[in-house]
């Protein structure tokens, strides 16, 4: 049986082995190599308990025998092959399934509660265990996005953005389980498709089909703002009593030429927005000026930023997920493309505690878990949904979530491997 010379390395300080070449069988597969690493670790530390490892050769996960992988990738078997090993992640399994009466457009989860938005015009609050706690009803049309603002003891503030062109700021008391609309945020002239809270919970940003971004105060007050109505426009009689006091934006950011599909705060001074105009733009919150433009060739549906790896991930109508450096001087440079979906990528979200992991959702009904060190194929395909996927998220505790056109929100339990940064 032919042998290969291999050197093993890892970023995880807990599992380092000696930096010397080892002779291993060429037909070794993942489990064989995992046994080798565990034996080496046991030799160094008798109390070592077995860990399952995954292996990367030249940035691709090993999914065949070593010799087949090297042949496919065109790697010489004469030289010492460098093999990186990482803790293996078990396949995430669907745990809970929560139902709305129509498509689920959006989800925002934190440590305690899950917030969803739906085409049934409501938003719902769920426990992490999947129990329906509260239905938040007030919009006159589809809810397109939701976001938690902040939690102060038993009181939470949350946002719901709608096709009815408004954003409602709600106050929810979890002990009494009562919800109240505090402000109705008016100013957009098209569907409000995306909303994001700043890191301090004092402001939020919205993006709309009217091509505009608007920044608003997220602090509830007992005062209503005056809305400037054009003088020549007949006053429409409101069919229903408005919920909450009127609030107008602090600032409007204009520059996109088509609908704004996704917004986020990369930090408290900078907003990042994605649009159907094939661009992603960075904005200075203080001045309202555009700082950088990243230019693609297709419509952007979604973006996510990871403070751990300082990378921006985008999902587009051409099925690709792309990774960008938002600090780049070259706005058209894509660092990496992740290609496996067969439909529009509608949702993408970085893992909160792992710099290499992200989850994506698509109109192809699939949710995919990726490790960006290996971009040719996802770690796992999660095929729980029977219809299009519209939104994905993570909780800090290692739950993944996805919602879609089958009116279902799934949670997936997942063994979170911490990075060294998080460990």
Identify the band that residue 109 occupies on the pLDDT scale cut at 50, 70 and 90.
very high
The residue written with tokens 């992640």 in the block is 89
Taking residues 283-305, what's their average pLDDT?
A: 95
Handedness of CA 188, 194, 197, 199 (dihedral sign): negative
pLDDT of residue 306: 96
Taking residues 367-384, what's their average pLDDT?
A: 91
SS (H, E, C) 16-62: CCCCCCEEEECCCCHHHHHHHHHHHHHHHCCCCCCCCEEEEECCEEC
The rounded distance, in Å, linking the Cα atoms of 264 and 375 is 24
Number of Cβ within a 10 Å radius of residue 44: 11
Strand ranges, E, within 285-328: 290-295, 300-306, 311-316, 320-324
Identify the band that residue 392 occupies on the pLDDT scale cut at 50, 70 and 90.
very high
**Per-residue pLDDT tens for 41-59?**
999 888 889 999 999 998 8
How far is CA 9 from its chain centroid? 29
pLDDT of residue 419: 38
Identify the band that residue 387 occupies on the pLDDT scale cut at 50, 70 and 90.
very high
Q: What is the mean pLDDT of the chain?
A: 91
Task: State the first-to-last Cα distance of the chain, in angstroms, to the nearest integer.
Answer: 40
Three-state secondary structure call for residue 231: coil
Taking residues 321-337, what's their average pLDDT?
A: 86
pTM of the model: 0.87
Which two tokens mark 213? 């971004």
- Please determine, for residue 356, whether its predicted confidence score (pLDDT) is greater than 80: yes
Three-state secondary structure call for residue 14: helix
Contact predicate 325/280, CB 8 Å = no
Sheet holding 143-152, edge to edge: 143-152, 155-162, 167-173, 178-185, 245-247
Contact predicate 388/363, CB 8 Å = yes
pLDDT of residue 95: 85
The rounded distance, in Å, linking the Cα atoms of 45 and 40 is 9
Which two tokens mark 127? 């426990």
Three-state secondary structure call for residue 410: strand
Q: If we measure between CA atoms, which residue out of 337, 372, 336, 368 comes closest to residue 354?
A: 372
Of 95-109, 129-143, 255-269, 406-420, the least confident: 406-420
- Please determine, for residue 422, whether its predicted confidence score (pLDDT) is greater than 80: no
Which two tokens mark 147? 């976001």
The phi, psi pair for 44, rounded to 5°, reads -80, -30
In sequence order, what are the residues at sequence separation of 6 or more whose Cβ sits closer than 8 angstroms to the Cβ of residue 231? none
- Please determine, for residue 231, whether its predicted confidence score (pLDDT) is greater than 60: no
Contact predicate 85/53, CB 8 Å = yes
Taking residues 181-189, what's their average pLDDT?
A: 97
């Amino acid at each position: 049986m032919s042998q290969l010379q291999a050197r093993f390395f890892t970023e995880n300080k807990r599992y380092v082995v000696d930096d010397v070449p080892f002779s291993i069988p060429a037909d070794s597969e993942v489990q064989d190599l995992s046994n080798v690493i565990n034996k080496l670790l046991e030799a160094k530390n008798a109390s070592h308990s077995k860990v399952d490892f995954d292996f990367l050769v030249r940035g691709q996960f090993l999914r065949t025998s070593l010799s087949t992988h090297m042949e496919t990738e065109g790697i010489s078997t004469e030289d010492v092959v460098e093999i990186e090993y990482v803790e293996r992640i078990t396949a995430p399994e669907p745990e809970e399934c929560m139902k709305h009466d129509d498509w689920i457009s959006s989800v925002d989860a934190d440590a305690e509660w899950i917030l969803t938005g739906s085409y049934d015009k409501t938003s719902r609050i769920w426990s992490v265990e999947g129990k329906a706690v509260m239905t938040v009803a007030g919009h006159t049309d589809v809810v397109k996005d939701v976001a938690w603002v902040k939690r102060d003891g038993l009181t939470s503030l949350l946002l719901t953005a709608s096709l009815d062109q408004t954003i409602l700021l709600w106050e929810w008391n979890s002990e009494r389980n009562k919800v109240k609309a505090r402000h109705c945020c008016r100013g957009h002239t098209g569907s409000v498709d995306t909303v994001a809270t700043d890191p301090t919970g004092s402001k939020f940003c919205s993006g709309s089909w009217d091509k505009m971004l608007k920044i608003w105060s997220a602090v509830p007050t007992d005062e209503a703002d005056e809305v400037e109505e054009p003088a020549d426009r007949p006053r429409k009689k409101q069919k229903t009593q408005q919920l909450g006091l009127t609030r107008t934006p602090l600032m409007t950011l204009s520059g996109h030429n088509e609908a704004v599909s996704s917004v986020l705060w990369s930090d408290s001074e900078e907003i990042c927005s994605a649009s159907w105009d094939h661009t992603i733009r960075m904005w200075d919150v203080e001045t309202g000026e555009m700082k950088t433009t990243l230019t693609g060739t297709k419509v952007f549906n979604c973006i996510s930023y990871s403070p751990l790896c300082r990378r921006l991930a985008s999902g587009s109508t051409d099925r690709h997920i792309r990774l960008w450096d938002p600090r780049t001087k070259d706005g058209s440079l894509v660092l990496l493309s992740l290609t496996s979906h067969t439909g529009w990528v509608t949702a993408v979200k970085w893992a909160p505690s792992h710099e290499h992991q992200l989850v994506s959702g698509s109109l192809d009904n699939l949710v995919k878990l990726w490790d960006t060190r290996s971009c040719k194929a996802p770690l796992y395909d999660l095929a729980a949904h029977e219809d299009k996927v519209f939104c994905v998220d993570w909780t800090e505790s290692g739950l993944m979530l996805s919602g879609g056109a089958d009116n279902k929100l799934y949670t997936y339990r997942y063994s979170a491997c911490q990075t060294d940064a998080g460990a």
